[in-house]
Structure 1
Amino acid sequence: MSSPFFIPVDIAHTALLLSDVQTQILKRFSPEIQKSYMDNIKTLLEHFRTEISKRRSDEASGDGSAPYDGVPLIVHHTLPFNINSNAFVSPYNKLSKWVEQLEKAGFFANAPSDPHHPHYGIPAEITPADGWGNKDEIVLGKLQPNCFGSSDLLAYLRARGIKHIVLVGLTTMGSILGSARAGADLDFHICCVEEGIMDDDPEVHNFLMTRVLPKFVDIVGLRDVLQL
């Protein structure tokens, strides 16, 4: 069987990028859909965390088999909803209407308002066991849906020699479409995981994942990533 990846993927130079996997957006979906989705996200995280732990152990043993840039990276990338009352959303950006709807629906009731808060609504069930601050699993805030447009993400990816990005998150027509296209334009090999991406509109999700994104990125299954 041919590989689902456009080019061979070396997990040593791969980052798992979780875009907008946060409570404020998850709440828009039913509890059943949330559970199924989060189970897939936890499976991906466990795979990468295990690989990171193994390579760090090899590095500590001093056998030289796992140089610093040979360790995968996990990035939780989220929108800091409610910080400065969402003043970062321009009224000239059509997304401001969407943010206003979320605000009125009460999705920001428990969102952080402290600009120094590190979590930005990341679900507790996927928080690292040893907490935040680990250089192999980081959290970054952004001010636009596109992960590459308004954060320090590029600096972290370049520091680790990242060439491949396994992209998951919410939603397909929001952060995923913008991030996948932007990442591809920056010459990263982007791999979108079908089970790790969803949208409020299944028809839009299917159209983007089958007709649009495959022209720029690899659309793969969860099993494909677990075999890396």
Structure 2
Amino acid sequence: MTSPFFIPVELSHTALLLSDVQTQILKRFPTEIQKDYLDKIKILLGFFRAEISKCRSNQDTTIRSAPYDGVPLIVHHTLPFNLNSNAFVSPYNKLGKWVKQLEDAGYFANAPSDPHHPYYGIPDDIVPSGGWGGKDEIVLGKLQPSCFGSSDLQSYLRARGIRHVVLVGLTTMGSILGSARAGADLDFHIICVEEGIIDDDPEVHNFLMSKVLPKFVDVVHLKDILRLQV
């Protein structure tokens, strides 16, 4: 059977990267699509959380000098909307119009403008059961659609020895296209999961996932990820 990955994947050196999976963007989709999407994301998160727990339980800390060596990572990477009242959105960036539409729709109503306490808008359904604060599932804010453009993401990935990045999120022609291309250019093995990526325009989604992204990254199905083992 032919592998869907162009190189073998070491799950122990893999990160699950959730890009812009946040309430403000999800609200743009019908309720049934939101639920179906989050159900699939929860399956992915459950798989990675179980693998991380397995690695931690098998890890012999008395002989390992690197406490994170061989442990997968989960990164929730979102735009902290309303941070400094969205002053980070440049008037020369065409996305400014899109942010204005979200503002007018009231999607920032519960998002404070306090720069010391940014609001990441991560849906309650996918927050870790024990809350935030762990070393293996973290939250990062960004100020651009691309995950690799305006945050400390690379530092976290390099520190953990991450070589493979399983990328999911919203939307296909937004953060996913930008993050996939940027990550590939930085020599990370980027893996886009079909069921974990959606877009407002199904036609654009299908074109990007079938014609554009496969030239630079692996595009696979959820079942392909669930077959991986540390």
TM-score (norm 2): 0.95
Q: Structure 2 CA distance, aligned partners of 1:19 and 1:154?
A: 14
Query: Do the aligned residues in 2 keep the contact of 1:13 with 1:163 (CA within 8 Å)?
Result: yes
Q: Secondary structure at the match of 2:183?
A: helix
Kindly provide the amino acid, as one letter, of the partner of residue 125 in structure 2.
E
Query: Greater shift after overlay, 119-128 or 154-163?
Result: 119-128
Question: After the TM superposition, which segments of 4 or more aligned residues of structure 1 sit over 4 Å from their partners?
Answer: 60-64
- Residue 220 of structure 1 corresponds to 220
Work out whether residues 119 and 139 of structure 1, in 8 Å CA contact, stay in contact via their aligned partners in 2: no
Deviation at 1:107, TM superposition (A): 1.1
| Runs (5+) with no aligned partner, structure 1 | none
SS in structure 1 at match of 2:144: coil
Which deviations, in whole Å up to 9, do the C-alpha atoms of 1:141-182 show, x marking residues without a partner? 000000000000000000000000000000000000000000
Q: Is the 8 A contact 2:14 2:163 kept in 1?
A: yes
Query: Alignment partner of 2:150: what SS?
Result: coil
Contact 2:180/2:217 (<8 A) preserved: yes
In the aligned structure 2, how far is the partner of 1:82 from the partner of 1:68? 34
Once the two structures are TM-superposed, the CA of residue 115 in structure 1 deviates from its matched residue by 2.2
> Which residues in structure 2 correspond to 1:110-129 (within 5 Å)?
110-117=110-117, 120-129=120-129
Give the C-alpha shift of residue 133 in structure 1: 1.2
Q: Secondary structure at the match of 1:69?
A: coil
Does structure 1 conserve the Cα–Cα contact (< 8 Å) formed by 2:173 and 2:204?
yes
2:161 pairs with 1:161: yes
% identical aligned pairs: 79
Q: Point out where structure 2 has 5 or more consecutive residues left out of the alignment.
A: none
The CA deviation at 1:60 is 5.0
| Residue identity matched to 1:160 | R
Count of aligned pairs: 227
Partner of 1:68: 68
Partner Cα distance (2:117, 2:46) in 1: 25
Corresponding residue number in structure 1 for 2:90 = 90
Separation in 1 of the partners of 2:77 and 2:126? 13
Distance change >3 Å, CA 55–CA 118, structure 1 → 2: farther
Equivalent position of 2:101 in the other structure: 101
- The TM-score with structure 1 as length reference comes to 0.96
Shift of 1:112: 3.4
